[in-house]
């Protein structure tokens, strides 16, 4: 039609325009490719195989709470599984999807404070962040991060209009319903609002007016309203059974013994640990996994006070970074919980890079491009230290290969016997829709078959061998348990053909091109009742797999009032699911509203003025240099410290994830004691895991 441009013309105009969003598209494509390869390749961490099996078929339960984590993530992951099937991609879909969307969102947030160029840089840094890429897993933290950033966007927009944004409260509530530690950020938002009112108040004696208090109360109530399903779940569960979930038990000191020894949940918040824990996270997480973003981010924080330009907004971001960080370090030091701090650090890091460019561009015209290229190359090929991202991109985990084989190659009525040296959570996830049984239970199965009636029927049997002797436990060695497992393997090797071998891959604890799983197949005659018995063994970490029966936290609702409260909790949960699903659409609407052209929006744009003297530059360089030297020192001494500590106990040292080790008793390898790098100095025993038999039976 005349007078209207064709789509092709608009695309060409966009490509040759000065619209920064064209660079954002390329960044999103890069970030999407990296994340897609990772979620389909990378080996599983332990917690993934707790949360993954727990999400399968959870919608059928109509639950509004879970033992360890908030409920919303489980519902959304179950929806993903129903759409894509139970695969590594579907299990990690939320981290993949919201991780990509966060690249757009960090651009919008940064643009509200800095220039569009800075916003593009922050998006690029987040896209290639080794820490964020590494934890694009079956975890809640990246999805939580997205909604915290969405809340931050509306929070800043609201403050510019001298009000509290209720949209920010809504999305903070969603974040907390995905993972409860988002409430730490809710507190920081409150402090940031108070600080903003103080800095902008004409009369310092009357900082908050009546309308401000009203907005603050409504803001907090809206967050609690969205989070209310978790509160209601705990209230009704406690009334019916006298127990609460792990987080309530941890902070309210209720039935803690039920969760004793579970991943550090014996301890609550500690003020002392705030500072020692911060040292630990900086040393073992930020400097080891994302040194560019951390060091440049720290430089950007120091630059806050080197210039008055946009200082208030930078201080607001700093408050939102520091307060939840120290609360988190005082509570627990699990690496994945510190994912949300990376985009906030990336905002400061991008401002540092723009500052460096402005200082050097007269002598080095392409300095920014060179710096970003170096960061990209090092981040992919050399970070995280000892486990570079490239190792996760070039090979596929044997666990993912095994799951694909289970879908395509194992019949629905076949029986799977899994080597008990395979981590129990992995077995549950890989064969969740199959009739599987662990090899350690074969004796019990044989005893029960003798009591069963009915005529025999033929069935295919698949035996899955752990070819490396320890597939995820980290505690199996040449002991009686291993010898027993080997005898079962020998039995199948002698009577069944080997039909498949899956090599390790995906980094972490799998060695590429080395056999990890062997699959043997045979046929036997069994009693039909065997299937029911096998399914009865499908319990994992407190919950029945696929929820084939009621779980321990299924409560009875007593009385009309409690029924109304329970119904209210379900309404809020399903409302939150709808909001979560629609939020990406709203994000693209916000991006479309962004003018994105060459004409800068003067209300939110700034050009960094170099009002900084040589003395400030020397201070900053000196501080960064000291931090760099210190980081190098602790990296090279850390291993020696761990070896010396284990040697002093007469134990062998083994790694167990990021910043965590355990010393293995060589005479009894099924018994392990964990040692955290405590308070940044040496180690202390925090808990003891039970023997394999107790661990596998669920008695903790």
Pick the last residue of a domain from 512, 547, 582. Answer: 547
What pLDDT is recorded for position 691?
34
Task: State phi, psi for 553 to the nearest 5 degrees.
Answer: -100, 20
Specify whether 193 is located in the same domain as 267.
yes
Classify residue 315: in a domain, yes or no: yes
Which H or E run includes 676? strand 672-677
Q: What is the mean pLDDT of residues 46-63?
A: 96
Q: 370 with 403, same domain?
A: no
Residues 256 and 322 in one domain: yes
For 3-42, write each residue's pLDDT tens digit.
456 665 555 555 555 677 889 999 999 999 999 999 999 9
Statement: residue 294 has pLDDT above 90? yes
Q: State the pLDDT at residue 618.
A: 52
512 assigned to some structural domain: yes
**145-159, 194-208, 345-359, 545-559: range with lowest mean pLDDT:** 194-208
Retrieve residue 675's tokens.
Answer: 């040692």
Return the pLDDT at 385. 86
Q: Looking at the structure, do residues 156 and 193 belong to the same domain, yes or no?
A: yes
pLDDT confidence of residue 610: 34
Same domain, 46 and 22: yes
Residue 331 has a pLDDT of 81
Highest-confidence range of 320-334, 601-615, 652-666, by mean pLDDT? Answer: 320-334
Burial 669-700 (b: 16+ CB within 10 A, else e): bbebebbbbbebeebeebbebeebeebeeeee
**Long-range CB contacts for residues 151-156, cutoff 8 Å, separation at least 24:** 151/175, 151/185, 151/189, 152/109, 152/317, 152/320, 153/105, 153/108, 153/109, 153/112, 153/590, 155/189, 155/192, 155/193, 156/109, 156/112, 156/113, 156/313, 156/316
Contact call for residues 159 and 196 (beta carbons, < 8 A): yes
Instruction: Convert the pLDDT of each residue in 655-691 to its tens digit.
Output: 433 334 444 443 333 333 333 322 232 333 333 333 3
Same domain, 280 and 314: yes
In a domain, 151, yes or no: yes
Q: Are residues 240 and 144 in the same domain?
A: yes
Q: Are residues 108 and 237 in the same domain?
A: yes
Exposure of 42 by Cβ count < 10 A (0-12 exposed, 13-18 middle, 19+ buried)?
A: buried
Residues 345 and 457 in one domain: no
Which among 547, 576, 595 is the end of a domain? 547
In which band, very low, low, confident or very high, does the pLDDT at 644 lie, cut at 50, 70 and 90? low
Q: Write down which residue in 612, 635, 669 finishes a domain.
A: 612
92-101, 235-244, 665-674 — which is least confidently predicted? Answer: 665-674
Per-residue model confidence as pLDDT tens digits over 393-439: 999 999 999 999 999 999 999 999 999 999 999 999 999 999 999 99
597 shares a domain with 513: no
Q: In this structure, is residue 619 part of a structural domain?
A: no
Is there a single domain that holds both residue 581 and residue 506? no
Please indicate, yes or no, if residue 8 is contained in any of the structural domains: no
Average pLDDT, stretch 618-629? 53
Percent above pLDDT 90 for the chain? 64
With the CA atoms of 80, 86, 88 and 91 taken in that order, what torsion angle do they form, in degrees rounded to the nearest 10?
A: 40
Q: Both 405 and 505 in a single domain? A: yes
Q: Give the domain extent around 643.
A: 625-697
Reply yes or no on whether the pLDDT at 367 is more than 50: yes
Domain membership of residue 6 (yes or no) is: no
pLDDT tier for residue 475 given thresholds of 50, 70 and 90:
confident
Tens-digit pLDDT profile for residues 301-314: 998 877 777 889 99
Residue 287 inside a domain? The answer is: yes
Query: Over 70: is that where the pLDDT of 263 sits?
Result: no
Domain count, the chain: 3
| Residue 455, in any domain of the structure | yes
């Amino acid at each position: 039609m005349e007078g209207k441009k064709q789509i092709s013309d608009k695309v060409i105009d966009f490509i040759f325009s000065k619209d920064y969003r064209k660079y954002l598209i390329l960044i999103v494509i890069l970030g999407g490719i990296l994340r897609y390869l990772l979620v389909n390749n990378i080996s599983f961490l332990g917690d993934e195989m707790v949360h993954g099996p727990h999400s399968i078929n959870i919608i059928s339960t109509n639950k509004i709470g879970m033992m360890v984590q908030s409920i919303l993530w489980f519902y959304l992951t179950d929806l993903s599984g129903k759409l894509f099937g139970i695969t590594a991609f579907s299990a990690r879909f939320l981290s993949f999807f919201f991780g990509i969307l966060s690249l757009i969102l960090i651009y919008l947030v940064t643009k509200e404070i800095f220039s569009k160029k800075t916003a593009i840089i922050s998006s690029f840094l987040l896209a290639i962040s080794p820490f964020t890429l590494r934890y694009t897993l079956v975890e809640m933290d990246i999805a939580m991060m997205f909604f915290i950033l969405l809340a931050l966007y509306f929070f800043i927009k609201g403050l510019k209009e001298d009000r509290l944004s209720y949209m920010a409260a809504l999305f903070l509530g969603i974040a907390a319903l995905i993972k409860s530690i988002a409430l730490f950020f809710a507190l920081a938002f409150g402090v940031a609002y108070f600080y903003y009112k103080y800095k902008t108040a004409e009369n310092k004696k009357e900082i908050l007016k009546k309308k401000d208090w009203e907005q603050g109360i409504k803001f907090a109530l809206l967050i609690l309203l969205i989070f209310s399903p978790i509160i209601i779940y705990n209230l009704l569960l406690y009334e019916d059974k006298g127990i609460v979930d792990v987080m309530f038990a941890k902070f309210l000191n209720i039935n803690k013994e039920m969760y004793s020894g579970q991943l550090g949940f014996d301890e609550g918040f500690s003020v002392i640990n705030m500072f020692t824990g911060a040292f630990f996270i900086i040393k073992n997480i930020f400097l080891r996994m994302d040194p560019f973003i951390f060091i440049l981010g720290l430089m950007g924080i120091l630059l806050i006070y080197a210039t008055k330009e946009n200082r208030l907004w930078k201080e607001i971001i700093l408050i939102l970074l520091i307060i939840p960080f120290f609360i988190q370090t005082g509570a627990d030091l699990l690496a994945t919980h510190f994912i949300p701090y990376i985009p906030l650090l990336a905002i400061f890091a991008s401002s540092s890079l723009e500052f460096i460019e402005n200082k050097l561009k007269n002598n080095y015209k392409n300095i920014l491009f060179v710096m970003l290229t170096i960061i990209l190359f090092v981040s992919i090929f050399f970070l995280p230290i000892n486990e570079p991202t490239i190792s996760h991109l070039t090979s596929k985990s044997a666990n993912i290969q095994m799951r694909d084989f289970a879908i395509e190659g194992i019949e629905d009525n076949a029986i799977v016997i899994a080597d008990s040296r395979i981590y129990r959570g992995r077995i549950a996830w890989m064969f969740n829709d199959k009739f599987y049984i662990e090899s350690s239970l074969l004796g019990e199965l044989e005893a029960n078959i003798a009591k069963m009636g009915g005529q025999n029927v033929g069935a295919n049997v698949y035996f899955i061998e752990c070819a490396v002797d320890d597939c995820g436990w980290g505690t199996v060695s040449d002991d009686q348990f291993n010898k027993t497992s080997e005898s079962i393997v020998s039995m199948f090797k002698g009577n069944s053909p080997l039909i498949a071998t899956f090599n390790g891959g995906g980094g972490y604890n799998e060695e590429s091109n080395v056999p990890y799983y062997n699959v043997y197949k045979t046929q036997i005659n069994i009693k039909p009742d065997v299937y029911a018995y096998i399914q009865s063994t499908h319990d994992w970490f407190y919950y029945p797999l696929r929820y084939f029966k009621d779980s321990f936290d299924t409560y009875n609702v007593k009385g009309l009032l409690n029924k109304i409260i329970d119904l209210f909790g379900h309404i809020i949960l399903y409302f939150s699911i709808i909001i979560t699903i629609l939020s990406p659409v709203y994000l693209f609407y916000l991006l479309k509203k962004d003018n994105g052209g060459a004409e800068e929006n003067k209300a939110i744009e700034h050009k960094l003025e170099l009002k900084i003297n040589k003395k400030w530059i020397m201070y900053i360089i000196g501080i960064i240099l000291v931090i760099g030297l210190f980081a190098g020192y602790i990296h090279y001494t850390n291993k020696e410290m761990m070896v010396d500590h284990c040697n002093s106990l007469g134990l062998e040292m083994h790694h167990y994830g990021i910043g965590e080790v355990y010393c293995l008793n060589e005479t009894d390898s099924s018994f392990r004691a964990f040692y955290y790098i405590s308070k940044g100095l040496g180690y202390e025993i925090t808990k003891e895991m039970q023997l394999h038999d107790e661990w596998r039976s669920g008695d903790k």
